[in-house]
Amino acid sequence: MTPSGTRPHRLGPFTRNAIGTSSAEAFMIIAIATILVTRGYLWATDYPQVGGGTLHIAHALYGGALMMLALLVSWWMLGYGARLFCVVFGGIGFGLFLDEVGKFVTKDNDYFYGPSAEIMYVLVVVVLILGRIMREVRPLSAHEELATAAAMAADGVARGLQPHRRELGLRLVERAEEKGADPDTAQHVRDLLIGAPSASARLYALQQWAPRLIPSFFRSPRWLPIVGWSLVVISFAALVSGVVGIWLDNPYYADNGLQVELAGAGVAAYILIASAAITLAFSLPAMIARNRTARIWPLQLLRYGALTFAMLNALVDFATEGFGALLNLTVGLFALAIISYQIDVRIREARPRAHAEAVAAEAAHEAEAKAPAPAH
């Protein structure tokens, strides 16, 4: 029964995971990295084949096996460790499978089929943009935020919680309360998160290894406008040069040692233009709104721009330029690291209560672990 004058909250067939978008992004990044590493390895080793005689064991089979293993683990196991395993090995498996897409769409099983990079690109764009739509078109509700926190609390009851996951869960509870979640239910979940024993954070420390490589000089917030406006300028220049190149059909200019050649019409050129347009569509509004609001969404938009520049362009760049594309990939990854670090700082500053509760809980559990056992 619902109270008089109120309408029951209708729930859909699915409950979205508040941290699911991050897992999907990590899955696709690992898949793209797997494709690049695989292509680089095969190029360096002159494309060896596994098998003999009439047999050729394609690495798509290994990819399918890893994806099946990830699915089985997701059904068999609960918790953060299983989720991390599925993201990593599922991403590697999907990358190995996707790398051989040329064989699946051609009659002669052509691994070097030209549009393979474009097919990979479209799939990656669909997954990333679909995740963005699911998250932003209809914001997460209070019950979805609280359900995610409750799932994390359940994992903590079984295996303990790492400090960063305890704080994340407490932030989700705080946000759910702000959106109108039942106070008693929210407090129960908060108590479970605070009371869950501490767990080792070695996996998180390994995950944070790359951000720690960023020198302290680059961690200054002054780098954010430099990186952001650089993305705007580079994407705008790429968009203009791509359009001019298609319009003039591969123009070439040479004078006094200066040579300028723009790509003409082609599938790769159109996709690079689309990538530049997407990067610009994310980055320009983010930089304009960054100083006009205290909310975090401009930084999240900027991060999507850097992700587009770093990862999506890499697929086409490697197909057209080979390892000369490493420069653009390095610049994009550097921008992504700078922006992600600033987002983490901003999130922590925006939720001081959750941070303080998580720190206090860790201190209490540490003191309890060090306390001498009571004498019998």
Residue scoring higher pLDDT (349 or 239): 239
Query: Which tokens hold the place of 32?
Result: 């793209």
Residue scoring higher pLDDT (254 or 345): 345
For the cut 80, the answer to whether the pLDDT of residue 33 exceeds it is yes
Residue scoring higher pLDDT (1 or 132): 132
The CA radius of gyration of the chain, in Å to the nearest whole number, is: 24
- The confidence score (pLDDT) of residue 204 equals 59
250 Cβ contact list (under 8 Å, min separation 6): 261, 262, 263, 264, 265
Tell how many helices (H) and how many strands (E) occur in the chain: 16, 2
For the cut 70, the answer to whether the pLDDT of residue 10 exceeds it is no
**235 Cα distance to chain centroid:** 20
CB-based contact 121:160 (threshold 8 Å) = no
Weakest mean pLDDT among 123-127, 137-141, 299-303: 123-127
pLDDT mean over 49-66: 78
For the cut 80, the answer to whether the pLDDT of residue 367 exceeds it is no
- The overall pTM is greater than 0.75: no
Domain ranges of the chain: 20-47+55-136, 216-349
H or E stretch at 255: strand 252-255
CA distance 191 to 157: 11
- What is the tens place of the pLDDT at every residue in 104-129? 877 777 777 766 666 776 677 677 66
- The confidence score (pLDDT) of residue 312 equals 64
pLDDT mean over 138-159: 89
